[in-house]
Amino acid sequence: MTDADLENMDLDGLKTLQKKVANAIESFEARQKKAALEAIAETAKEHGFTLDDLIAGKKKIKVPAPVKYRHPENPEQTWSGRGRQPAWFKELVEAGRNPEDFRAK
């Protein structure tokens, strides 16, 4: 490796050197990451797994919220109490009905 005489370099030379150093750093980091991944993959293989098996993890299953309110005349219409109120709920409340009257049991 040679020492550069930075004091005597012009701006273009310094910028070129800067780009070369940045590229060298990126290349070095890429090689280090590749080596680390290979070592991790080998360790996973020794334990009977692939790297994807360990990284992927389990997918979260979205469980719907339990029914909190049920329409008194049409039990198929429900609301969990989350998000926007359905039209049937609003209409019943605006008509003077108590929401507790149609709470799901």
Domain count, the chain: 2
pTM recorded for the entire structure: 0.46
pLDDT digits (tens, 9 = 90+) for 17-73: 999 999 999 999 999 999 999 999 999 999 998 888 888 766 778 888 999 999 989
With respect to residue 61, please indicate whether it lies within any of the assigned structural domains. no
Structure tokens that stand for 63 in this block = 């469980």
With respect to residue 63, please indicate whether it lies within any of the assigned structural domains. no
Q: State whether 17 and 48 are in the same domain.
A: yes
- Residues with Cβ < 8 Å from 4, sequence gap 6 or more? 17
Q: How many residues comprise the chain?
A: 105
With respect to residue 52, please indicate whether it lies within any of the assigned structural domains. yes
With respect to residue 2, please indicate whether it lies within any of the assigned structural domains. no
Helices (H), 2-83: 11-46, 51-56
Place of tokens 């989350």: 82
Structural domain for 28, as ranges: 8-56
